[in-house]
């Protein structure tokens, strides 16, 4: 069903000098970066999949292409049609790019709590952006429900439904998973990442479990305010959501259909506090020259801690979801960091990077 995605990968291989066909062809085949400083600190091998190098700037380009390709194949989207999605930002950005490249209109519903950079970028990419109050999924005014209703109200429109349309996880099963397997030569002990829709975790997890005959461990890293750590560690009890995190695009209050395709095979989960994610954000900038968003740095904290759990010599892979560009007015602002109680979490010698007031 996803032969187009597979063909793109086969044609490009992992050669950096390969030519590709348009925006879609440039999605995927991202480098796997060895994080030298962190790895040497603990005698393990920690790698980050450089998803910020996708042409739309995030891991969600893969999901966007997978969702649109799937809608086309099912005959749900015809030339000149409209793609509608509820998204905290990155999927919308990926969709806006893919829609421009394929000639579709793009309408994005998003919680109005999201960063201004992402809203502006969506508009610049030609999307019709509709910020709505940030209310829980149970509320009919939740951005996802509004996106669905709107798509149903106009002709030749599709609600791509990134949370519960498993074409999302399938895109990672067919691209991200095989890339990681090939790039590591199958030599990896564990993969860990945080989840929003769960597409990345479920798709990569399923592929790596199958290829390794169950040997590769798959872990969930959770931000504060998400229920997945307690869900996994209690053997499937879903608690009420409480608290929150500065990270964007990750954390869940339910088991989405994408996550549901894999959650029973997850080996473990733990929560990473914002203090650690923000300290890692500054640390990676200083020691590795990587300018990453907070979901990426949460993932790296988690990979580092999991590698320590698994012991010296272990090899752990995670995802570098996007760059800090989309959040820089917050993440590098002393005032904003102070307002979140996070300025003190940054080690003194790294505070020099917080250059905005
Ligand atoms: C910055 C960022 N990191 C991580 C994720 C989570 O990826 P997934 O939806 O595949 O779980 C998202 C999803 O929107 C995101 O925007």
CATH number at residue 76: 3.40.50.1100
- Domain limit, last residue, from 114, 145, 165: 165
Report CA(349)–ligand 1 centroid distance (Å). Answer: 30
CA atoms of 194 and 294, how far apart (whole Å): 11
pLDDT reported for residue 49: 98
Report CA(159)–ligand 1 centroid distance (Å). Answer: 18
Report CA(272)–ligand 1 centroid distance (Å). Answer: 16
Of 263, 117, 152, nearest in space to 197 by CA = 263
pLDDT reported for residue 17: 64
The pLDDT profile of the chain, 357 residues, written as one tens digit per residue, is 344 444 444 444 454 567 999 999 999 999 999 999 999 999 999 999 999 999 999 999 999 999 999 999 999 999 999 999 998 689 999 999 999 999 999 999 998 887 787 788 899 999 999 999 999 888 999 999 999 999 999 999 999 999 999 999 999 999 999 999 999 999 999 999 999 999 999 999 999 999 999 999 999 999 999 999 999 999 999 998 889 999 998 999 999 999 999 999 999 999 999 999 999 999 999 999 999 999 999 999 999 999 999 999 999 999 999 999 988 999 999 999 999 999 999 999 999 999 999
Which residues have CB under 6 Å of ligand 1? 58-60, 88-91, 195-201, 248-250, 293, 295, 321-322
Residues 147 and 288 in one domain: no
Q: In ligand 1, which atom is closest to the CA atom of 259?
A: 11
| Ligand 1 probe mutation, 60, 260, 326, most atoms within 8 A of CB | 60
CA atoms of 130 and 180, how far apart (whole Å): 36
Residues 226 and 211 in one domain: yes
**Residue 115 to residues 1, 91, 194, 311, Cα–Cα distance (Å):** 35, 14, 19, 38
Residues 159 and 299 in one domain: no
- Domain limit, last residue, from 165, 193, 216: 165
Report CA(317)–ligand 1 centroid distance (Å). Answer: 16
Of 249, 167, 233, nearest in space to 202 by CA = 167
pLDDT reported for residue 149: 97
Residues 181 and 143 in one domain: no
Q: What residues pair up with 220 in beta bridges, in sequence order?
A: 193, 269
CA atoms of 38 and 19, how far apart (whole Å): 34
Residues 174 and 132 in one domain: no
pLDDT reported for residue 117: 76
Dihedral sign for Cα atoms in the order 61, 67, 70, 76:
negative
pLDDT reported for residue 2: 43
Give the pTM: 0.94
Q: In ligand 1, which atom is closest to the CA atom of 89?
A: 16
Residues 200 and 344 in one domain: yes
- Domain limit, last residue, from 165, 186, 211: 165
Catalytic positions are 60
The count of domains in the chain is 2
Report CA(237)–ligand 1 centroid distance (Å). Answer: 23
- Does residue 18 lie in a domain region? no
Residues 144 and 200 in one domain: no
Is residue 92 packed enough to be buried (19+ CB in 10 Å), middle (13-18) or exposed (0-12)? buried
pLDDT reported for residue 136: 86
Residues 97 and 218 in one domain: no
Q: In ligand 1, which atom is closest to the CA atom of 162?
A: 9
For the chain, the helix, strand and coil percentages under 3-state DSSP, each to the nearest 5: 45, 15, 35
3 state DSSP class of 24: helix
Q: In ligand 1, which atom is closest to the CA atom of 203?
A: 10
- Does residue 4 lie in a domain region? no
In this structure, the chain runs to a length of 357
pLDDT reported for residue 8: 44
Domain residues for the domain of 124 are 59-165
- Does residue 197 lie in a domain region? yes
pLDDT reported for residue 52: 98
Residues 74 and 124 in one domain: yes
Residue whose CA is at the smallest distance from ligand 1 atom 14:
249
Q: What residues pair up with 82 in beta bridges, in sequence order?
A: 105, 157
| Ligand 1 probe mutation, 196, 204, 255, most atoms within 8 A of CB | 196
pLDDT reported for residue 172: 98
């Amino acid at each position: 069903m996803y032969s187009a995605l597979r063909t793109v990968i086969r044609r490009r291989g992992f050669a950096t000098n390969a030519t590709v066909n348009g925006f879609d062809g440039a999605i995927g085949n991202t480098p796997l970066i060895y994080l030298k400083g962190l790895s040497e600190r603990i005698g393990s091998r920690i790698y980050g999949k450089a998803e910020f190098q996708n042409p739309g700037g995030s891991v969600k380009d893969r999901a966007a292409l997978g969702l649109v390709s799937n809608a086309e194949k099912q005959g749900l989207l015809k030339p000149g049609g409209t793609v509608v999605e509820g998204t905290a930002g990155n999927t919308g950005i990926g969709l806006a790019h893919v829609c421009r490249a394929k000639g579709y209109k793009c309408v994005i519903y998003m919680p109005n709590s999201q960063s201004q950079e992402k809203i502006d970028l969506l508009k610049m990419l030609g999307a019709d952006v509709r910020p709505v109050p940030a209310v829980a999924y149970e509320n009919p005014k939740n951005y996802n429900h509004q996106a669905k209703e709107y798509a149903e109200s106009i002709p030749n429109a599709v609600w791509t439904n990134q949370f519960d349309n498993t074409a999302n996880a399938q895109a990672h099963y067919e691209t991200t998973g095989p890339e990681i397997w090939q790039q590591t030569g199958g030599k990896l002990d564990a993969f860990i990442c945080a989840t929003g829709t769960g597409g990345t975790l479920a798709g990569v997890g399923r592929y790596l479990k199958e290829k390794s005959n169950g040997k590769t461990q798959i872990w969930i890293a959770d931000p504060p305010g998400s229920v997945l750590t307690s869900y996994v560690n209690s053997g499937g009890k879903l608690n009420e959501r409480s608290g929150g995190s500065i990270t964007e695009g990750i954390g869940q209050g339910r088991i989405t259909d994408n996550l549901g395709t894999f959650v029973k095979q997850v080996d473990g989960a733990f929560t990473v506090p914002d203090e650690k994610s923000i300290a890692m954000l500054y640390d990676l900038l200083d020691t590795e020259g990587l300018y990453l968003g907070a979901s990426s740095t949460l993932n790296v904290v988690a990979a580092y801690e999991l590698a320590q759990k698994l012991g010296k010599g272990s090899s752990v892979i995670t995802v570098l979801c996007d760059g800090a560009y989309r959040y820089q007015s917050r993440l590098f602002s002393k005032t904003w960091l102070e307002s979140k109680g996070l300025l003190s979490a940054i080690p003194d010698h790294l505070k020099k990077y917080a250059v905005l007031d």
